[in-house]
Structure 1
């Protein structure tokens, strides 16, 4: 779907306002992405070159993508009272994300993601995932005012509040939360290759109106409730592959944005596939300042 055509559709959907109002409910991991020749085997000691550092995890990456698409995004999350939490907030706000973070004592979760020569990533997380909860001192009623919400982490109370938005898109990683909440979601998105994102329809009394299963360079499959499954095609990346970190989160955010604008599922998926492919052509899920050590080496060069 041509972005100009999509823009006109979204403009009409938002009632002629300048932009759609979009939000993300989810988590943050302060992440370092490092290049390795291959993922280490047990007992290996390997060298890694840091490539990228910033707030990541499904929630933060989607919030940045939606802020870029919509001209702003509100991010409901939880952050520790540590340096990683402060840096995450600062970087996200610098990118047009309005951060509504419930405070948590202790550390914000961090992560190290190793990208090998094939561009594939392997991630190790450090610490407990922090996620928003219905009991946090946040006005969850605000969620009803958004055209769309993408949900990556939170409890059932927060998910029910998010259901008041015009369009609710949920990662299939939160299948159990959806099951426990009893709400119907407009779209659920997951990977065909990630066991944590495997969809089990028997857990839901109310299946999603749209189920999307991504399959990398093969595109993926989508099912609209009551209809047979269909395939969508991947989009060729605009330049050689750099890494695959954040591709799925950018895809899901772009899908949320397109559905919010009233785009039919095939056109929304075409748009999302193009935004996901663009992510493979850069280092990290979005452009960010490189780690301090990398900046020093670049300056010396």
Structure 2
């Protein structure tokens, strides 16, 4: 009887499979075009194009099996010591932390981990120091499930000391220079051609040119000098209207990004696209009580990269990114709130 039942289940599954439409798989790794993925999202006018049914979007946007976005990050990692305090100490004061922990952090690492949680896998091309902290960073990233490819530098790993206070703010002290991947590093750059969504937080000009082989490429202004030297067209640049280190003046990059997004934290943000089209979005509702802001902006950028790589209309992509960033805000440190419950874009 058990064998008969299994046979019935197999036949039923086969019948369901025959009833599903076959989706056309298109070529991947195409160079950026004026009529490419982002142009399709924005449409000819100011308003984004209406969202297509999921099956149509899978066929229109060349992605991985079953429409899962293949994601990656080219950038940096820091080893971060976190101290949970009531307030940041005044000049000359001594405080006792209520809690302390350490993890791999920095914009590149946070984006890679959150992408892995949201779509199930992510590739991270980076550089680390040859000391104990560089080894710790590699170990933790692998424990987080990231496919890690790291060049090892003969110098100390960049570290950070971060206060997380009762006002939900993070205050960061950086120790050492940023270590970023180079195009000449023996990293598997060919993998980037298979990625639908690539987020860049750092690298030399050759590394950024290699990253441009991804179908949709998004970057942070913190990599601005190398971005300017690389002269590649970005699908989006995620800047901040509040953080001086993430502001960018118009005309800084040549060619200019197709889309510039400026976040305003709890006030949402605004975007500017080709031909001067502009728009805004509102902040997402918090799914719980706020805990601290570390990693919220990086999570937003990672989620936006995924959504653009998935072919989501711009309004939907920004709403998805805002929801992911708001979720991160409700957990301790960058990974305390599990964004995997949100699911892929």
TM-score, structure 2 length as denominator?
0.78
SS of the equivalent of 2:248 reads coil
TM-aligned CA deviation for residue 202 of structure 1: 2.4
CA distance in 1, matches of 2:249, 2:218: 17
Residue 229 of structure 1 deviates from its aligned partner by 2.3
1:78-125 C-alpha deviation (Å, 9 max, x unpaired): 011222222221221122211000011232111111012210111011
| 2:32 alignment partner in structure 1 | none
Q: Name which of structure 1's ranges 34-43 and 95-104 shifts more when overlaid on structure 2.
A: 34-43
1:274 and 1:70 map into 2 onto residues whose CA distance is 15
* Number of corresponding residues: 284
**Counterparts of 1:163 and 1:226, CA distance in 2:** 22
Q: Is the 8 A contact 1:52 1:283 kept in 2?
A: no
Pairing partner for 2:262 from 205, 209, 213: 213
1:276 aligns with 2:315: no
Shift of residue 15, structure 1, vs aligned partner: 4.8
1:8–1:232 distance in 2 versus 1, CA, 3 Å: farther
Look up the match of 1:87.
136
Aligned with 2:65: secondary structure?
A: coil
CA drift at 1:7? 7.3
Residue 20 of structure 2: aligned partner:
none
What corresponds to 1:297 in structure 2? none
> Is contact 2:149-2:188 (8 Å) kept?
no
Assess if the C-alpha contact under 8 Å between 2:63 and 2:70 holds in 1. Answer: no
Q: Specify the SS of the correspondent of 2:251.
A: helix
CA contact (8 A) 1:11 1:17 kept: no
- Paired position in structure 2 for 1:157: 206
Partner of 1:226, secondary structure, is: helix
Between the aligned partners of 1:195 and 1:7, the Cα distance in structure 2 is 39
Residue 292 of structure 2 corresponds to which residue in structure 1? 243
Q: Give the direction of change, closer, same or farther, for the CA distance of 1:64–1:8 in structure 2 (3 Å limit).
A: farther
Q: Is the 8 A contact 1:212 1:222 kept in 2?
A: yes
| Contact persistence 2:63–2:310 (CA under 8 A) | no
Distance 1:16 1:130, change over 3 A: closer
What are the residue-to-residue correspondences of 1:17-96 with 2, within 5 Å? Answer: 17-18=65-66, 19-96=68-145
Which residue number in structure 2 is paired with residue 264 of structure 1?
313
Shift of 1:227: 3.2
**Any unmatched runs of 5+ in structure 1?**
289-301
Rg larger in 1 or in 2? 2
In 2, distance between residues paired with 1:120 and 1:15?
A: 37
Q: TM-score, normalised by structure 1?
A: 0.89
Pair 1:125–1:40, CA change in 2 (3 A): same
Distance 1:11 1:88 in 2: 35
Is the alpha carbon distance of 1:120 and 1:9 closer, same or farther for their aligned partners in structure 2, counting shifts above 3 Å? farther
Q: Structure 1 CA distance, aligned partners of 2:256 and 2:247?
A: 14
Where 2:237 maps in the other structure, the secondary structure is strand
Bigger shift: 14-23 or 218-227?
Answer: 14-23
2:303/2:320 contact within 8 Å kept: yes
C-alpha contact (below 8 Å) 1:26/1:132 kept by paired residues:
yes
- Provide structure 2 residue ranges, at least 5 long, that are not aligned to the other structure: 1-51, 338-345
* 1:242 partner SS: coil
Distance in 2 of aligned mates of 1:87 and 1:116: 25
1:10 positional shift: 6.7
Alignment check: 8 A CA contact 1:6 1:263 kept: no
Aligned partners of 1:84 and 1:108 also within 8 Å: yes
Secondary structure of 1:204's counterpart equals: coil
Does the 8 Å CA contact 2:266/2:283 hold for their aligned counterparts?
yes
1:188-203 alignment, distance < 5 Å: 188-203=237-252
CA–CA separation in structure 2 for the residues paired with 1:275 and 1:110: 26
Does structure 2 retain, via aligned residues, the 8 Å contact 1:10–1:260?
no
Question: Residues 8 and 48 of structure 1: is their aligned pair in 2 closer, same or farther, counting only changes over 3 Å?
Answer: farther
- Which residue, 168, 174, 180 being the options, matches 1:131? 180
